[in-house]
Amino acid sequence: MSGLRERQKADRHRRIIDAATELFREAGYEGAKIEAIAARAEVSIGTIYNYYQNKGDILGAIVSMEVNEVLNAGQGVVASPPANVGDALDTLIGIYIEHSLNYLSKEMWRQAMAISTQLPDSPFGQAYTGLDRELTKQISALIARLQEIGLVRVDIDGAAVGELIFNNMNMMFIEFVKRDEAKIPELRAAIRRQNRVLVAAIGT
Amino acid sequence: MSGLRERQKADRHRRIIDAATELFREAGYEGAKIEAIAARAEVSIGTIYNYYQNKGDILGAIVSMEVNEVLNAGQGVVASPPANVGDALDTLIGIYIEHSLNYLSKEMWRQAMAISTQLPDSPFGQAYTGLDRELTKQISALIARLQEIGLVRVDIDGAAVGELIFNNMNMMFIEFVKRDEAKIPELRAAIRRQNRVLVAAIGT
DNA sequence: AAGAAAAGTTGAACCAATTCTAAAATTGAG
DNA sequence: CTCAATTTTAGAATTGGTTCAACTTTTCTT
């Protein structure tokens, strides 16, 4: 099962992703020519297209890794949230936002988001939509957890509130990556302010 | 001031927009080649690039017209809203959504949204961000109006609630245009459901 | 271990957006 | 009216992502 071909394939995948990650950061998404990625990965252009349907999918693979890390980090908060609705939400959202620029620059985020709406049916488009859904579910799970603990009224529609909070956060994040000078603390403060009405309404 | 040159310029602008609108609808954004738009507008390729920085800006001009119409239609609701918070919001949002596919196909919306995040500093990118801001302000204005009438508590942060509602609606609209089979009534119902908690919380 | 089949690799050719440049048209000063 | 300055045009050249047909390498079979 683990013949030479398998190992070579895995190795090429890694080399392509590594080369692309470096070049995207060095030259930006547009600036990173496929030819250059191929050269740095020591692979031909054709091989890249054998592994990824298009340039966007290469970026997509990088984005997916990052979002999966964030989802993982979020699990901890859902499992044992701060004992206060506002703080619980702020902590989870904080994890998302603070991790977001670890591997990806704002420009990479912009491109990734653009591609996911431009080509919703491409491999990456579908993966991105799936990741958004996972994040929404995680926020809803936090609300459900808070309902169990007795911090949130059990008669509120947790799924709907989770969607509302995620959609607002996501839109704010989109505006955030669109402005290079926008700063993380301001983003978090703005989202906290927007959530305040909601937090007051759903808390016990 | 209104010499031959002025009139020709206005005429060419119109011809380019008309040709592009037709071709975008017939062949989709990607399928509408600049060469074909130029031919139908009876203008050269160079001329198109003299009038618009890039293909996206042509689409941008069309989108801007559409959104401005929607903003206009929304004014009526803000001026005399239905006598009930839930209905007021639903009516305004309904106007936005129902108008949205008048001139633009889902594919055109996808492209327009993608371009606005990909190139936030291009003429169209800035215009699009501005239009989003206008829509947010209009929703906030509706909340303020409802506060005046006494339907919404005066102690809630109307601007924050307006942003929350717009951002959620906009995100839902993005998901809506990403799925060709998604239908308007379902979209409206989902947004109504999400807004319900909020409506209950801010109503008097 | 040889030969055939399967799987993967390569890079030159293709295509469409965008840029560039020389030619043509319009304007206004004298 | 004329012509130099300025704007606009046309379309050829450039550019970079993507495709494709020929070539290699690996695996399988006996």
**So what's the pLDDT on residue B3?**
57
Interface of A with B (CB under 8 A): 110-111, 113-115, 117-118, 120, 125, 129, 156-157, 160-161, 163-164, 167-168, 170-172, 174-175, 177-179, 193-198, 200-202
A40 band by pLDDT with thresholds 50, 70 and 90? very high
Residue A144 contacts residue A85 (beta carbons within 8 Å): no
- Residue in B111, B123, B107 with CA at minimum distance from that of residue B54: B123
- Asked whether residue B5 carries a pLDDT value surpassing 90, the answer given is no
**So what's the pLDDT on residue B1?**
41
Alpha carbon distance B182, B166 (integer Å): 20
**So what's the pLDDT on residue A11?**
94
**How many Å from the CA of A68 to C1' of C15?**
37
**So what's the pLDDT on residue A132?**
97
Give the SS3 label for residue A152.
strand
Q: Which nucleotides of D are covered by protein (CB under 7 A)?
A: 7-12, 16-21, 26-28
B157 to A196: CB separation less than 8 angstroms, yes or no: yes
Residue A123 distance to chain B (closest CA, Å): 14
Nearest nt by C1' to A44 Cα: C10
A1 band by pLDDT with thresholds 50, 70 and 90? very low
Q: Best residue in A168, A173, A193 to probe B by mutation, most B CBs within 10 Å? A: A168
- CB-contacts to strand D (7 A): A 3-6, 8, 30, 32-35, 45-46, 49, 53-56; B 5, 8-9, 12, 43-47, 49-51
**So what's the pLDDT on residue A56?**
95
List the single residue in A with minimal CA-CA distance to B132.
A175
Q: Best residue in A131, A155, A171 to probe B by mutation, most B CBs within 10 Å? A: A171
With 0-12 CB in 10 A as exposed, 13-18 as middle and 19+ as buried, what is A175?
Answer: middle
- Asked whether residue B86 carries a pLDDT value surpassing 60, the answer given is yes
A115 to B114: CB separation less than 8 angstroms, yes or no: yes
Q: What is the DSSP string of chain B?
A: ---HHHHHHHHHHHHHHHHHHHHHHHHHHHHS-HHHHHHHHTS-HHHHHHH-SSHHHHHHHHHHHHHHHHHHHHHHHHHS--SSHHHHHHHHHHHHHHHTTSS--HHHHHHHHHHHHH-TTSHHHHHHHHHHHHHHHHHHHHHHHHHHHTSB-TTS-HHHHHHHHHHHHHHHHHHHHH-TT--HHHHHHHHHHHHHHHHHHHB-
Contacts of B198 in chain A (CB under 8 A): 164, 197-198, 201
Compare A155 and B2 and report the one with higher pLDDT: A155
List the single residue in A with minimal CA-CA distance to B30.
A118
Contacts of A31 in chain B (CB under 8 A): none
Q: What is the ipTM of this complex?
A: 0.92
List the single residue in B with minimal CA-CA distance to A163.
B194
Mean per-residue pLDDT, A121-141: 96
What are B30-68's pLDDT values in tens digits? 999 998 999 899 888 988 999 999 999 999 999 999 999
Residue B188 contacts residue B90 (beta carbons within 8 Å): yes
Residue B102 distance to chain A (closest CA, Å): 20
B4 band by pLDDT with thresholds 50, 70 and 90? low
Average pLDDT score over chain B: 93
Residues 6+ apart with CB under 8 A from B27: B36
This prediction has a pTM of 0.93
